[in-house]
């Protein structure tokens, strides 16, 4: 019973560790991807700002400057929106993966709990069977001893009775 319970606990621990490792790997991959996308976005907007600053020195009037700034703002804004969409899609995917990991862990936990309950039932049944067997054996010995004592008492009574008749 102890070995079986230790195996169940070991399997549970290994499953929990594997789930934690999967979650850790997923978190690291997610962080790296998001950080990379953010760095690309910032780099792109800085480059655009630099190009815009260079272009500002070459503009001839305010209308041209305004159009240039609007284009830079629109372009950078579009990249931010696209980045947010990609991040949202990626995080939705990560959520789905985390849900799958948690469902798998929950199934294993339930299975492990069922195994533990079965092992407990088995141990209890074995204990009851051993106890019943021991009680039956003890009762049989008591019956045998009582029978032997009764037989000896009857034998002794017969001897006393025969001595009493002879006397």
Please determine, for residue 167, whether its predicted confidence score (pLDDT) is greater than 70: no
pTM: 0.58
Provide the 10 A C-beta neighbour count for residue 54. Answer: 9
Q: Please give the span between the terminal C-alpha atoms of the chain, in angstroms, as a whole number.
A: 68
Q: Which residue has the higher pLDDT, 137 or 121?
A: 137
Question: Using one digit for the tens of pLDDT, what is the confidence trace for 4-22?
Answer: 778 877 887 888 888 889 9
Classify 59 in phi/psi space as left (phi over 0), alpha (psi -120 to 50) or beta: beta
Q: What's residue 89's pLDDT?
A: 93
The pair phi, psi for residue 65, each rounded to 5°, is: -65, -45
Please determine, for residue 166, whether its predicted confidence score (pLDDT) is greater than 80: no
Q: Which residues contact 86 (CB under 8 A, 6 or more apart)?
A: 37
Please determine, for residue 123, whether its predicted confidence score (pLDDT) is greater than 90: no
CB 56 within 8 A of CB 65: yes
CB 55 within 8 A of CB 105: no
Mean pLDDT to the nearest integer, 144-150 = 87
Mean pLDDT of the chain: 85
Confidence of residue 1 (pLDDT cuts 50, 70, 90): low
Mean pLDDT to the nearest integer, 145-154 = 86
Q: What's residue 96's pLDDT?
A: 93
Q: What's residue 31's pLDDT?
A: 93
Question: Using one digit for the tens of pLDDT, what is the confidence trace for 84-122?
Answer: 999 999 999 999 999 998 888 888 777 777 777 787 778
Q: What's residue 86's pLDDT?
A: 92
Question: Using one digit for the tens of pLDDT, what is the confidence trace for 49-65?
Answer: 888 888 888 888 888 88
Please determine, for residue 32, whether its predicted confidence score (pLDDT) is greater than 90: yes
């Amino acid at each position: 019973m102890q070995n079986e319970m230790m195996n169940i606990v070991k399997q549970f621990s290994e499953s929990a560790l594997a789930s934690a490792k999967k979650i850790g790997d997923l978190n690291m991959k997610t962080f790296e991807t998001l950080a990379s996308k953010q760095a690309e976005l910032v780099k792109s907007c800085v480059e655009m700002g630099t190009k815009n600053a260079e272009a500002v020195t070459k503009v001839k009037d305010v209308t041209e400057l305004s159009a240039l700034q609007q284009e830079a703002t629109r372009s950078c804004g579009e990249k931010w929106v696209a980045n947010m969409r990609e991040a949202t899609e990626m995080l939705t995917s990560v959520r789905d993966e985390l849900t799958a990991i948690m469902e798998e862990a929950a199934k294993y936990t339930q299975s492990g709990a069922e195994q533990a309950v079965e092992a407990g039932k088995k141990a209890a049944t074995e204990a009851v069977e051993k106890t019943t067997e021991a009680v039956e054996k003890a009762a049989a010995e008591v019956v045998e001893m009582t029978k032997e004592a009764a037989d000896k008492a009857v034998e002794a009574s017969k001897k006393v009775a025969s001595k009493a008749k002879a006397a």
